[in-house]
Structures are given as C-alpha cells and as structure tokens.
Chain A
Amino acid sequence: MRSALVAIGWCILVGAAAAQTLHTAASVSAADTPEDAGGSIDVAWEASPDEAGEVFEVLGYEVWRATSATGEYRKVADVEPGKKSYQITDATAETGVDYYYKVKVLGEAFGEKMDADTAPRGPVSASPQWFRAGRLNMLIASIILATFILLYISKARAGQKLFIRRIAGLEAVQEAVGRATEMGKPVLFVPGIADIDDIQTIASVTILGRVATMIAEYDAELLVPCARSLVMATAQEVVKEAYLEAGRPDAYHRENIRYLTDDQFGYVAGVDGIMLREKPAANFYLGTFYAESLILAETGHSIGAIQIAGTAMPSQLPFFIAACDYTLIGEELFAASAYLSREPRLLGSLLGQDWGKVLILAFIILGAVTAFVAQFGVEIGGYSINLAQLFEVK
C-alpha cells in the first residue's frame, strides 16, 4: 500500500515536470569580437530561469554552430552553470564566414535528462578591425615619447650642446682597448646569443661599431665570435665600415668575425676555447645573455682580461657585476652608443627618453597620491580617481 502511494507520488511529480518544459537561455546574442584581428565571435546569453527554479536542475550549457540556420550544427563550447550571464569567445571561427549559433540548456528533473535549444542567432561573421581602443594609451605614450625624442634630435642637429653624465663602464672602453694594444693581444667582443631582431643585439652591434673604430685607430686585433649567422653578417658590415671610417680598411679581417653555432652551450664552449687560446686582453660582453653569462665572465676573469659587460637581462646582471670589471646595467647598454659616438641623432634620442622618464616619475608620484586618496572612495564624475587604470593595456 505504502509503495503504491510512493509510486503515485512520483508519477504526479514527473507528470508535473513533464507538463513544464525546460526554459531556454535568455537574450542570446552572437557578434564579432570587437577590436581583434578577426577569427573569433563572442556569444553571450543570460541564465535560464530554471537555474533559480525548483523543478529542474540546470546541468550546463552547450554552444553549437552551423554555417546555415538549418544546417548541421557542431558543438563549440561547454559551459558550467552558476552565473547570471555568460559569454564565450569562439576562437575557431574563420574570418568572413557566416555562422549561426544556438545555445542548448542541459537540465534534469527526477532523474530525467532533457535539453532546450534556442532559435539560431545569425548570420554573424568574424572580421578584423584596424584600431584597438584598449591600446589607445600605448599610442599616446608612443606619440609623447617620439615627440620628446624628435625634439631633442632636432636640438642636437641645430648644434645645441647636450650633456650626458659620466658612465664609468664606458669610460673604461678606451682603457681596455689601449691595454690590449700595449700587450699586443686581441680584443674579444661577444654580442650575446640573441638574433639581430633583438633590441639588445642591435644596441650591442652599434657599440661594436664604435669599439671597432677605436681598435682600428689603435691598430689592435678584434675577434667577434657570433651565435647567429645574421648577427655575424651585420657585425662584419659594421666593423668593415668602422675600419673604413678610421682609414684602416687594410687592417679589417673578415674571418675574425666568425659564426660558431646557434646552440647556447656549444657557443659557450667555443668562446671559452677562443679565450684560452687567443688570450685576449680585453673582453666585451654586450647584448642578450642567459645561463652562459657566468661561464664566459669567469673564464675571461681566469685569463686576466679586463672585462666590460652590459645587458638588460636582470637575471644575468648579478653574474656580470660579480665577475667583470665594469658592467653596464640595463639602459646604460642602450645609452652606450650615444655616449661613445656623441652623434647628434643618438644623443637627442637618449635625452628625449630622459624626458619620458621624468614624465613617468611624475605619473608614479601623482598616481601613488591618487591611489591613497581613492581608498576613501573619492570619485570624479562617477569614476575612481586612481590613475592606475590609465596604464592598463587591454
């Protein structure tokens, strides 16, 4: 009797559930992802009312896609329930192809699984945009920096005398080359292990030009082992130019600027071998370095060479500082070419960047004040006064 009553109760409940249908997701929309390079579509919807109901348990959502409203749909995403609204980005869309999307709600009531589809939304296609508004701050920063740089370059070209403070590591370049000349030993220049598209390698090769001019004038020998063939080709051009500038084209030896290997530790083994056999009197390590920095600097130290290093790799600077006589820290590497050449274009660029730094300092100090005040809920026109948001790049 009791089990019959339970069965009847179940039948009533299941019947009640069947009488109600699972609600579909509300306000489904599909649109091209804004400010991107194409290839993606955003699909958004609001939670099914059944998420808050008592009859159905919503198990999740599925997003389906087809190239025509009545075509064959393919699942592109599974979404867990538990939110008021949802958004997914379909990054598998092809640019320029029309798509239709459906959102399927998966539910369960009294052990019965069911689902409910929305009507197809579309057509919608992915397209690329030219401008990314979330990076407007980058554009403004670039324009400000470029303005400072161009302004100072024009000042330098107009003959205005521009001042650069003394950089100890660069004062020592002449001393190092002079020492090598006196001892009749070569100068070793290591341009790092990155390729020529790396900004530190570009800075290194620019410095190599200045150092090579000095070496040509002093009539010392220059050795440049390279880890990248393009760096070798660039270094050969730069050094050849430097020797011509110094009026010593005959002293230029192309074979002294040689390629060893792209392999990091193969390169280190090769450079260490050169150091031990050629015994250079001065070693320059300028550019991008990784784990090889200490091995090179320690070997150079063991042969008693005067060593000048420079890199913008924070993790390698400690090793150079420990094992070299002089180290150019971070931006000093980029300032070096201007410092050594005193060429108006490079000097103007360096001093223009200094004004960029002044602006950054002002923003940091002002920003710290606004961040402090923002803690008290101070707003202007409904917006927080915290300046940090201005520097967020999306």
Chain B
Amino acid sequence: MDGLTLLGTWIAAILTLCILSFLYKDNPFYKFAEYLFVGISAGFWVAYQYHNLLVPNLIEPLFGSAQGKGALPLLLTEGQFDLRLLTIIAGLLGLTMLFRFIPKLAWVSRYGIAFSVGLGAGLFFVVFLQANCLAQIKGTIIPPVVITDGGVDVGSSLANSLLIIGVVSALIYFYFSKEHTGVLGGAAKLGIWFLMVSFGAAFGYTVMARISLLIGRMSFLIDDWIKGTLIALGLI
C-alpha cells in the first residue's frame, strides 16, 4: 500500500467512525462528517449532472462533439435542419427553472415544473398499467387446480390457489369505495394478512442484505485500515 492510498484509507476510516458515532448520540464528529458528506456530494452531483445529463443530451446535440457536427452549426453553415434542434425546447424549459433566482419572475419556472410533472405522470401511467396491472393479471390467470397426466398436482394446485386468493383479497383491501365490513371486510382482512406475511419475508431478506453491507464496512476497517496500516509500517 503506497503512502497516498494509506492516507486515503485513514481519511475514509476516520469519516466512517465519525458517522458511526451517531449510534451513541449527535456529536461534533458526526456533525463534521455530515456537513462534509452533504456538501461534497451536492458538489459532486452538480458536476455529475452536467457531464452525464447536460453535455450528452443538450450541449453535444446542439453544438457538436468530437463525433460530429452539432445541429446549430449544421443549420447556420449548411442551412440543414436537424431533428436534434428540438432539444432547444428542453433547454429552454430547463432555463425557466433559473428564473427562481429572480423573485418577480419566479412564476416562469412553473412552466418547467408543470412540464416535468405532466411528462412524469403520462409516462408512468403506461409503465404502471403494463407492469403493475396487465402483467399482474396475466400472472394471476393460472389454474387453481393443476391437472397432470397422473391426476391432480397437489403442490402446484395449492401454490396456485394461494396466489389467486392472495391477489384477490389484497386487491379488495385496496378498494376504497365501500366500508370494509361483512364479507368485504373479511376478504380485506385476509388481504392484509397476505400483505403482512409478504412484508415479513421481505424484511428478513433485506435485513440480511444490510448486514452484509455492515460486514463490508467492518471488513474495510479491520482489513484495509488496521491490517493495512500494520503491514505498511512493517509490523506484520
């Protein structure tokens, strides 16, 4: 491990400990790490968004890159209309957001916001309808009793029936137009049981994944930091 890597490991280890000190209570070490983290990451994201969003989607299509001419030079020098010129509309909508810095003209930013909200709602309508509706219906249209050459497949039949009952009862839980009483109430209660069992399984699964993250961090502290330092100092 060279000197620079060792320095980086020490900084990362100290900041990790500062963040972990939150487990005790709020303290100046945590505050320092928090402010540093928020500030650096905010700055990083500005640069990231510029290089990964603005440059490939607006600046390069309009002004060109090493790969070829942009739409604006093509229009101005050769009089050729390129469809990439339409990115100007997106650019202008993005610019409206900057009007928030001028209080009297802050209302202009509403156009950009309205466009983003409308576009998001419209696009997600189709995505949700396909993934959360039609695909789910198709996945639930299965035989509750599975017939095979040898008769009834008990295991598959039980699994299919549970799936159908679970989906139907959970869907009833999300029915808002009627009070959940009587038969509807019973079905909704069964639905919430199904949901809770699935949440329990998801909880266990995710906790397991989080513990592996913690192990990763502990492994960094023990192997990279402590052992790495001892090796660098020639003590082991």
Contact = CB atoms under 8 A, between A and B. Distances in A.
B152 to A, nearest CB: 11
B22 interface: yes
Contact of B41 (A262, A330, A372, A392): A262
Contact of A393 (B123, B134, B196): B134
Chain A interface residue number, banded: 35 or more
B159 interface: no
A260 B38 contact: yes
Interface SS of chain B: helix
B113 A270 contact: no
Interface string B132-152: 011101101111111100000
A237 B143 CA distance: 51
A357 interface: yes
Interface in B151-193: 164, 167-168, 171-172, 174-180
A165 B141 contact: no
A370 B164 CA distance: 13
B119 interface: yes
B124 A198 contact: yes
Contacts of B125: 142
B110 A391 contact: no
Interface residues of B, number: 69
A199 interface: yes
A186 to B, nearest CB: 17
B89 interface: no
B97 to A, nearest CB: 6
Contacts of A277: 26
Interface in A137-177: 137-138, 141-142, 145, 162-167
Given A138-B126, A364-B137, A233 B168 contact: no
- For the complex of A and B, list the 6 residue pairs with the smallest distance between their C-beta atoms, beginning with the closest: A197-B120, A367-B141, A263-B41, A266-B41, A318-B203, A262-B45
Interface of A: 137-138, 141-142, 145, 162-167, 195-199, 201-202, 229-230, 233-234, 237, 259-263, 265-267, 269-270, 272-273, 276-277, 291, 294, 314-315, 317-319, 321-322, 329-332, 335, 350-351, 354, 357-358, 360-361, 363-365, 367-368, 370-372, 374-376, 386-388, 391-393
Interface of B: 19, 22, 26, 30-31, 33-34, 37-42, 44-45, 48-49, 97, 100, 109-110, 112-113, 116-117, 119-121, 123-126, 128-130, 133-135, 137-138, 140-147, 164, 167-168, 171-172, 174-180, 195-196, 198-200, 202-203, 206, 210
